[in-house]
Chains A and B, each alone.
Chain A
Amino acid sequence: MTTVGIIANPMSGRDIRRLVARASVFPNAEKTSMILRLAAAAGALGVQRLLLSTDTFGIAAGVLRADRHRVGRQDPCWPRLEFCDLEPPTSTAADTRALVRQMRAHGAGLIVLLGGDGTVRAAAAELGDTPVLPLSTGTNNAFPQMWEATVAGVAAALVATGAVDAGVATRRAKVLHVQCGHREELALVDVCVSTVGYVGARALWQTAALRELYCAFAEPHAIGLSSIAAQLRPTARDSLRGVAVRLAGDDPAPRSVLAPIAPGTLAHVGVLDVSDMAFHERWVSQVPAGTVAVDGEREIEFGRHEQVSVTLSDRGPLVVDVPAVLRAAAERRLLATESALPTPVPRVAMR
């Protein structure tokens, strides 16, 4: 039975950037709607079973409520919904990891993630070779991209049913490995070492304290710290390198970049130099003490006796390339039929 997993992070998009920048709020009710749109589309294209995350914030409850209201109207295309329980939920990133493990164990051929960079990062540690389709509902969303949920459902179904094969449909993402003493962290977009002393409210918006930036990719149209690197050395998601930038803080710098480091925030950042990062090359931070932020969130506090190192790897999660899947579908006429007479096509809708 073709099975797709959907994990919705109830906590994405609620941190201090709502206050210090003008980051938008993504209501949990909208995440419920996205899941229902995904279900309608995926079901129409042959996904028979959906594994869904549970949460105490009303997202899963909203999906369950809508599912129950369908009982009176039999829709042969609506998939079977199964909720994955966490015993007990911790309301932390550990839940995301536990859900990925559970869904893979229960046969999910693909996992859709509703969240931001942090959500994908948490999942990445457990995904293995299971393709992932990240849908952006977080703050920065430099990694997950904006796809309408119905379209994402179509793409997910085409990959999960094998109609479009994984080689065409997915790309192996680059990933940055951070080591600090015994701690290891993963970043999908960027790692920033700063002199800020504590993890605190996690988000990073004080540019004067930033010292080193390591990016797996840097797209000029993206938001977040990687946009600093992108203005000097644009680096595509599928390029075979990363980019490392040394920042000047308050000191005089040979060049300066105006970058959208957070929603609503354009900042001038002084840059000392920019270099390419090769795969498997270990970069050791020169910052004596401070914090390491992964994908824009402070995560690790380190002191004088600890060394921070960053390494770029080409073995990140297998990410569904939605445009590529739909292009393949168009080329192979997977969603079109040639016929002389128009046949009545059942309209599949989320009621």
Chain B
Amino acid sequence: MSQTLPSYAGSGLDDKSLLEAYRIMRTIREFEERVHREFATGEIPGFVHLYAGEEASAVGVCMHLDGRDAIASTHRGHGHCIAKGVDVKAMMAEIYGRQTGSCHGKGGSMHIADLSKGMLGANGIVGGGPPLICGTALAAKLQGTGGVGVAFFGDGASNQGTTLEALNLATVWNLPAVFVAENNGYAEATSSTWSVASDNIADRAAGFGMPGVIIDGFDFFAVYEAAGEAIQRAREGGGPTLIEVKFTRYFGHFEGDQQTYRGDEVARARETLDCLLQFRRRAVDAGHLGTGQLDDIDAEVGTLIDAAVAEARAAPKPTDADLTTDVYVSY
């Protein structure tokens, strides 16, 4: 049977990988949809910025990464965390501000990190990630690990000096870095077509001496293919790449955002462009996966998210004594 199927395997996507890709994307989607519902109850402290709709980007990129590699993220970081292997229950507990969270409940949504997994953290500083990745990429290069650094950033961050400096430095030092500009069309409420001078973030790459490509962010396969080439290039010493992923976010900039600045692109995206819908349809039509397998994954993910929420709500909050721990790093 496999000989008559179109070849996904040549690109590293065997049936097992396809299932994994779907599982991770579905986990992100269910996680975000659930946080969206739970946030409305008022029980979650602080802010959350949801990644629903953008799953193909995080997963398409991170599936090429391993223990040698690091990623830097944004304020919209849940998707990157899950794609890089951060524990889902620890994430949910962190969002709920509980002691069992990945940062002991002290950071919340925008600071979820797991250095053991190469996840440098969600980051509330717009444009804060790219310079960090220049650091990890330099370390990988000097230590000869073959590792790469991937900086995820948004269209707002693409205008920040820190991002532009990082692009320049990565080329000048020939760093094994990949810069993924996730252009969802809005920096908070500011449209990217208004605020990004070159209109395409990828067009800036040529000015920084690196290749820039534009990829449909609703298409997992397109992201996977482009990211694979960029990451391989970086590993082989070919230098950095800028990938601009274009898509839309399903929720507001933050939960509570009235989104008066948007049209009806979300409805259209959910119905026709949605990355999970597309993936499911194409993988099943090509004969690689069965709908039963995917439905099973949906159910398992639902159970996992339910458990994560239940455990988070039952976990203790930090106490007064916790105020003075985790303040300094011990070397």
Contact = CB atoms under 8 A, between A and B. Distances in A.
6 contacts: A11-B214, A27-B203, A28-B203, A196-B7, A301-B6, A303-B286
B4 interface: yes
A197 interface: yes
Interface stretch (B29-37, B61-69, B138-146, B217-225): B217-225
A70 interface: no
A57 B200 contact: yes
Interface stretch (B78-86, B154-162, B205-213): B205-213
B286 A301 contact: yes
Contacts of B225: 16, 198, 200-201
A182 interface: no
B93 interface: no
B211 A290 contact: no
Interface residues of A, number: 33
Interface stretch (B44-52, B226-234, B294-302): B226-234
Contacts of B199: 10, 28, 56-58
Nearest to A20: B229
Contacts, number: 109
Given A14-B213, A201-B222, A195 B6 contact: yes
Interface of B: 3-8, 10-11, 13, 193, 198-200, 202-203, 205-206, 211-215, 219, 221-222, 224-226, 229-230, 233, 241, 282, 285-288
A206 interface: yes
A196 to B, nearest CB: 6
A289 interface: yes
B22 to A, nearest CB: 14
B213 A18 contact: yes
Given A19-B229, A20-B229, A198 B213 contact: no
A88 B193 CA distance: 15
Main secondary structure of the interface of A (DSSP, over half): loop
Interface in A177-208: 195-202, 206, 208
Nearest to B192: A56
A3 interface: no
Contacts of A27: 203, 206
A209 interface: yes
Given A57-B193, A196-B6, 4 more contacts: A14-B214, A20-B229, A198-B282, A202-B222
Contacts of A304: 4-5, 287
B285 A301 contact: yes
B59 to A, nearest CB: 14
Contact of A25 (B7, B212, B282, B287): B212
Contacts of B6: 195-198, 289-291, 301-303
Contact of B282 (A56, A202, A208, A301): A301
- The 5 A-B residue pairs with the shortest CB-CB distance, nearest first, are A197-B6, A200-B225, A197-B8, A198-B221, A57-B199
Interface in A1-35: 10-11, 14-16, 18-20, 25, 27-28
A58 B193 CA distance: 9
Interface in A90-141: none
A314 to B, nearest CB: 32
Contacts of A57: 193, 199-200
B203 A199 contact: no
B233 A19 contact: yes
Interface of A: 10-11, 14-16, 18-20, 25, 27-28, 56-58, 195-202, 206, 208-209, 288-291, 301-304
A28 to B, nearest CB: 7
Contacts of B233: 19
Nearest to B288: A197
Contact of B285 (A200, A291, A303): A303
A302 B229 CA distance: 24
Given A301-B282, A304-B5, A14 B202 contact: yes
Contacts of A303: 5-6, 285-287
A111 to B, nearest CB: 24
Contacts of B3: 288
A196 B226 CA distance: 14
Contacts of A302: 6
A200 B219 contact: yes
B226 A16 contact: yes
Nearest to B287: A303
B7 A197 contact: yes
B226 A25 contact: no
Given A19-B241, A28-B199, A56-B193, A289 B4 contact: yes
A208 B221 contact: no
Among B203, B230, B233, find the residue whose CB has the most chain A CB atoms closer than 10 A: B203
B7 A15 contact: no
Contacts of B205: 18, 25
Contacts of B285: 301, 303
A25 B7 CA distance: 31
Contact of A200 (B206, B213, B224, B230): B224
B193 to A, nearest CB: 5
Chain A CB within 10 A, most for which of B202, B221, B229, B233: B221
